[in-house]
A and B are shown apart, each in its own frame.
Chain A
Amino acid sequence: MKSRDQEYKEIFIAEALEYYDALNRHISDLEKTPEDEQVLAEVFRLLHNLKANAKAIGYETIADVSHKLETAFGMIRSKELNFSDEVVTVLFDGIDMLGEMITGIDGTKEVEPSQALLRNLDIVINSQAENSTELSKVQKHYTSKNLSLSDLIYIQIKKLDHLLNLVGELIIDRDRIFSISKELDNDDLKNVSAHLYRITEDLQYSVMDARLVNVGSLFNKFPRIVRDIAVAEKKEINLEISGSDIQIDRNILQIITDSLLHLMRNAISHGIEKADVRKKAKKTPNGNVMLSAQNDRDTVILKLTDDGKGIDQEEVRRAIVQRGFLSADAAGDLRDTEVLSYLFEPGFSLAKEVTEVSGRGVGLDVVKNAIDSIGGRIRVDSKKGEGTTFTLFLPTSIAVKGALLCQVEENFYAIPLMHTDSVVALPTEELHEVGELLVADINGETITIVSMRELFNNDLSQYAVKKSDLQGEAQNIIIVTYNNRKLGLIVDKLLRQQDIVIKALSKPVNTIEIYAGVTLLGSGKVCLVLDVAAITRYFIARR
């Protein structure tokens, strides 16, 4: 395993070489059309980036040379310096030297910039009045370039997406061949399919691995963002970042980028109090915000914690009633975790009272939808006066998900493990009829129980189940959880736990809400994947 530093170094070199190539191209163009503003601007930009990157990773000499070149080009841009032959030679030399130094990083000994050249550059920069004859001849030992190609390649994420889809399909076929070979009981076939199994597994992990990026690639953008928000809000914020080297699928990181930004904005502008208010509450005048990542098996847990004023449960309860989500009695009975989950309800964000008093709830439903779409979960914990923590549970990789398979009537269904809580077999007599719904007391919690058979066979608006509708003396119940709320699903049979590759349903059946997609089982059988979010939403709304 390469160290993180080594990896950064390689990335720097690859990028720097690319800049160097681009610079060479542009400066040749510039020789022909010295007036071209666009090319000049581009050269300026490239040098500026190169300088910043080199500085960040600690290559001072490269940063220094880039800086001098950048200054020279800046002067050419502002017409303080003529793009004359002498100047061109010096600049060409400078860029060549940059190239030499970049390729030298990986070598045994660091390439020192030629002093003569550095002096020439200084002269060019300060030359307005002076005569350019002072320019000394630079030894061009470094112009004997040897061509080499970078060890790193850039690849469009689209290509990796395609590759991953293909691997997904391959795995389905592999599982099929695997089960056929078991049935046929032919030794050769069994050997081959066992080998195929291992190779495809390797392939799958390799492709997944190729898509992983450091959470840091997103986290690193936050210090600047936090600073800007803090300045705008006239607050002082300490940002603490940890777990930057945790790895996650690039697309997942992309999808949650806006959400995390949104949560950060909320935390600073609404969560953290003004300095004087903080002093009164015996807190440090600086607000503290923590952004952390950690791994838990196949899940990446991102946490955003602030030590601001927190969310007032009572305010939220009042808003729940005000917005007409629940009656006052029902809202009063809600458990604390459930109360906060209403912050993610669409429309709740409009609740004036909450946005003004605690400031939360602006567009949190959008955040939740983004996280749902990748099969993740979000949780909020908050204590009034002490702060708020948003926890995002994200899958490491998009492709493969653990799922629980069950059977209802003749069909197989899959429920992503991300949303399953537990599985129980409950005697039918322990279910109770409340209105048209069934409830049960499971581990001290009252949970609404849904018969999947009835759900599938009746119109949603006419859903009504009596105990007498249920068959058998015990019911297999899968407890699912979504947004801190639990729901029990009665299925005919529990099958097994399995890794599945979820495919999106195609038109026109993609609009049916209760399905999150479809997967193929090893047997070639089509298995529908249930959308726990949609099913829960429906029954919560009913209550």
Chain B
Amino acid sequence: MESQNIRDKKEKVVEEKVHLIVFKLGSEEYGVRIDQVKEVTITPEITRMPKTPSFIKGVSNIRGDIIAIMNLEERFKIERPSGPSSPHTYTLVMEAKDYTMGFIVYEVPQSLTLPVSSIDKAPAFIQDININENFIEGIGKYDDRLIIVLDIFKILTSDEVLQLKS
């Protein structure tokens, strides 16, 4: 990963910060911009919805809104690390332009602020991994942690999600 240390010069001038909500998928840390997150809640009861892909866990009632719940690990085929799982999961409620969707995460998400300059553009070879490159906005570094910043809007509007068909 050292080769990725060359940063974009343009964002160096002002210390622009970006506020992320950070959560774990598999054993890696992922982040989304806080302005894309509507709320974080303990996962409510999910009603399974037959005839949807397995990564759609179903629909839930969140404050009167019925929204679809997606499991990002299953969506990106990320393996769940073995070990004891927490008693409940959390749901990140994300907002796209015209609809809302929930994403399940297994540990309490954290909030983190880091300078924009510490986020690298996603390197090309990331295409090789299961998360399509399009969904990755960049790779952020914070102390010695590596945070994969996702562009949730792209995930929400990807053809695959929009054209869910049984």
Q: Which residues of A contact B (CB under 8 A)?
A: 169, 172-173, 409-411, 455-457, 459-460, 503, 505-509, 511-515, 518, 520, 524-528
Contacts and interface: CB of A to CB of B under 8 A. Distances in A.
> Chain A CB within 10 Å — which of B65, B99, B162, B163 has the most?
B99
A512 B48 CA distance: 13
Contact of B165 (A512, A524, A526): A512
Nearest to A517: B66
B59 A505 contact: yes
B65 to A, nearest CB: 8
Interface in B125-166: 156, 161-166
Contacts of B65: 506
Interface in B86-120: 96, 98-101
Given A410-B48, A456-B50, 11 more contacts: A169-B64, A172-B64, A411-B47, A455-B50, A507-B162, A508-B99, A509-B164, A511-B162, A518-B66, A528-B49, A528-B59
Contacts of A172: 64
B51 A514 contact: yes
Given A456-B50, A512-B52, A506 B66 contact: yes
* Complex A-B, nearest 5 residue pairs according to Cβ-Cβ distance, in ascending order: A456-B50, A507-B99, A526-B47, A509-B68, A506-B99
24 contacts: A173-B64, A409-B48, A411-B47, A455-B50, A456-B51, A503-B66, A505-B66, A506-B65, A506-B67, A507-B99, A508-B164, A509-B49, A509-B68, A511-B162, A511-B163, A512-B52, A514-B166, A518-B59, A520-B61, A524-B45, A525-B45, A526-B59, A526-B60, A528-B49
Contacts, number: 76
A455 B96 CA distance: 31
A455 B166 CA distance: 11
Given A169-B64, A507-B99, A460 B59 contact: no
Contacts of B50: 411, 455-457
A172 B64 CA distance: 9
Nearest to A455: B50
B61 A460 contact: no
A520 B44 CA distance: 14
Contacts of B165: 511-513
Candidate in B47, B65, B161 with the most chain A CB atoms within 10 angstroms? B47
B22 to A, nearest CB: 25
B64 A508 contact: no
Nearest to A513: B166
A508 B66 contact: no
